[in-house]
Structure 1
Amino acid sequence: MSLKESLLAIRANSFLAPPHAFELTLEMIAHIGSPDPQLRDELIYSTFSHWIEEGVLSPEQLQELLAIALDDQHLFYRIGENGTDSVFTRSFSVLLLPLILILHRNHPFLAKEAIYYVKDKLFSYIRQETDLRGYVEEKGWAHATAHAADALDDLAQCSELDKTDLKQILGVIRETIAGAKSVYAHEEDERLVTAVLSVWNRDELSLDDIDGWVRSFANRLDNSYSIEAYTVRINVKNFLRSLYYRIHDQEKYKRIAATLLPLSAQRA
């Protein structure tokens, strides 16, 4: 029976794990970058989601799975390529991180050093990923930036991280928005805003810290007419507008909303 046939049968049985679940898990991660969207997204990722949430895998097995997801054949597989199928391996490897981090927050099993290892690898991946496609015709979602944003969101909620780490997450998000070489067209800004709010809601940063970070986007609202400047301006404005919309009615962030409004309303 092929992997796809096995997973179709498992899905039909409410994702009930077979006795050889971990062996199948290793086969699943070996094919996590399949260009077949049903196998990759509906079957492999969905099965991972159910089994990790339901505790099918032991802490030791999850640690092994995490190490594989972060290695050069998965998160960094052919990193730097653009427009090829390799992005699916990278973007779906990064999408495993939220599943594992959520379980860890609810039932801790990772050492603090492991959380910092995830942080370092995730930051490195985000800074090296150049394939920013969202939906790919016939092959489904690549969505590397959105998936990385989901990982940042759950990483930010890990109590092991301190104020310095949270500031670094905001720095990576700023780089992701202000340094992209193409316009984000598939709501990547919304997913990144969710990660921002997870950082802020840790209540480790002062309003001065947050306000200063928001104001740091002002110098990326360049009104020149180069393609590069226009791309950055569009991404920054969309991101700031999304952020403003999410916080404008929260008393806690009234000052921040007042800073965001004129920035997000700037015209070319």
Structure 2
Amino acid sequence: MKEVQNVMQQLDAIRSALIKGDIYQSIPEKVLVVMDGVQYKTRRTHVVVPEDNESVLQRITAIDERIKTKGKEATISDEELDDLLRHLASPDSQVRDKGVFYLFNRLLRQTVLTPAQLIWVKDRLLQDDYLFAHILEPENDAVFLRSFSAMFLAGILYANRTFYHVLSTAELLAIERRVMAYTVIELDSRGYVDGKGWAHAMTHIINVWSELNETPEIQRADKILMMAIVLQAYRFSDNALAYGEDSHLTNVLISLMNKHQLYVDYCLIVLQEWQRSLLTMAPQDTVGFWNRWYNHNRFLQSLLLQPELPDKIADYLRKISDLF
């Protein structure tokens, strides 16, 4: 997908300049330039979704029973895995969320997947027709496939770090690179979708970010860049992030800041730039504007409630607390 490649190339340039020491404080603004430059489409195309809900639920139950019965000796075929991944596109929450998602977690926790299968699933989820399916189009049902692809990547990162230890540094960086691009491009940050269940793209992005932060193979410059991208995506969401995203973002941010003072300093840079922009912003009579305004307020209030909030951040937030 040409637009995805364009975004990744721009992010690569920012990353390279950061690693060389050519840029630092200006990263949030440069990320915003990339976000503003994405060329979205004005028309939807047909989203193909699986329609065999009853039969796939039976297959999921059968695989689940096999795992419970055989335990560590259980296996799953490549064809079954392919079938499960295809059903991430289902708009039926019983299939996607309570079916495929729960089963996949069990597969990872009990290390049912072979190392080769883990890598194969990772590669599949990173493909354009999964992580970026219909992403440039107006709001559509493909958000479920995109969002749950991100969520499954978080699970794979956790399983690799905890059990498998098979992904190379290059593979881990490739995951981060494409997830950063996904975070920049994704506009559909709806939480619960009536009749279809959780979309929760922002929450799932934060989950991947959390796992990448725990990955020692990824250097600090990458983690700073990812922090800036996630915070900018949260900041410019036109949807009301009122389904726990604020506290989830806060928890992951606190965990990262506790790892090194560098992350505390950079978080402060991002927060200060965010606050400066608000002071010069005129209110707009749009839902998007007010969603952004109150997303910001909920996030900062959530930060202030954190007992482990670094003093440097806490002092700044108290200083501006009258403004949110």
Taking structure 2 as the reference length, what is the TM-score of the superposition? 0.75
Shift in Å, 1:130 = 1.4
- Aligned mate of 2:236, from 179, 189, 214: 179
Q: Which amino acid aligns with 1:215?
A: Q
Within the alignment, does 1:230 sit opposite 2:290 as a pair? Answer: yes
In structure 2, C-alpha distance between the alignment counterparts of 1:198 and 1:172, rounded to whole Å: 17
Cα distance, 1:219–1:16 mapped onto 2, change above 3 Å = farther
Shift in Å, 1:209: 3.3
Q: Distance in 1 between matches of 2:323 and 2:76?
A: 57
Higher relative contact order (CA 8 A, sep 6+): 2
Equivalent residues, number? 264
- Give the stretch that moved more between structures: 127-136 or 9-18: 9-18
Q: 1:225: Cα distance to partner?
A: 1.7
Distance 1:126 1:39 in 2: 25
**Conserved? CA contact 2:250–2:299, under 8 Å:** yes
Identity %: 27
The AA in structure 1 aligned to 2:62 is A
Q: Secondary structure at the match of 2:128?
A: coil
Q: Does 1:86 align with 2:86?
A: no
Secondary structure of the structure 2 residue equivalent to 1:131: coil
The structure in which a higher percent of residues are helix is 2
Is 2:147–2:200's contact at 8 Å kept on the other side of the alignment? yes
Match of 2:78 among 7, 11, 22: 22
Aligned match for 2:171, one of 88, 92, 114 = 114
Native 8 Å contact 1:74 1:90 kept in 2: yes
Confirm or deny: 8 A CA contact 1:220 1:236 kept in the other structure: no
Secondary structure at 1:205's aligned position in 2? Answer: helix
Change (3 A) 1:209 1:78: closer
Are the equivalent residues in 1 in contact too, given 2:75–2:112 (CA < 8 A)?
A: no
| Change over 3 Å in CA distance of 1:78–1:206 after alignment to 2 | closer
CA distance in structure 2 between the aligned counterparts of 1:196 and 1:209, rounded to whole angstroms:
11
1:240 paired to 2:296: no
1:78-227 maps to which residues of 2 (within 5 A)?
78-107=134-163, 108-203=165-260, 205=262, 207-222=264-279, 224-226=282-284, 227=286
After superposing the two structures, state which structure 1 stretch, 49-58 or 9-18, moved more: 9-18
Contact kept, 8 Å, 1:81 with 1:130, in 2: the verdict is no
Answer with 186-195 or 161-170: which moved more.
186-195
Deviations along 1:216-262, whole A, 9 cap, x unmatched? 2212424522135433322222111112212xx33x71222111233
Task: Give the direction of change, closer, same or farther, for the CA distance of 1:136–1:230 in structure 2 (3 Å limit).
Answer: closer
| Corresponding position: 1:5 with 2:58 | yes
Which residue of structure 1 lines up, in the alignment, with residue 33 of structure 2?
none
Query: Taking structure 1 as reference, are residues 265 and 61 closer, same or farther at Cα in structure 2, changes over 3 Å only?
Result: farther
Distance 1:140 1:207, change over 3 A: closer
1:180 to partner: Cα distance: 1.5
TM-score between both structures, scaled by the size of structure 1: 0.90
Structure 2, unaligned stretches of length 5 or more? 1-53
Alpha-carbon separation, structure 2, partners of 1:202 and 1:156: 9
Q: Could you tell me whether the CA contact under 8 Å between 1:80 and 1:131 is conserved in 2?
A: no
Distance 2:195 2:173 in 1: 37
Q: Aligned-pair RMSD on alpha carbons?
A: 2.2
Q: Specify whether residues 113 and 11 from structure 1 end up closer, same or farther in structure 2 by C-alpha distance, changes over 3 A only.
A: same
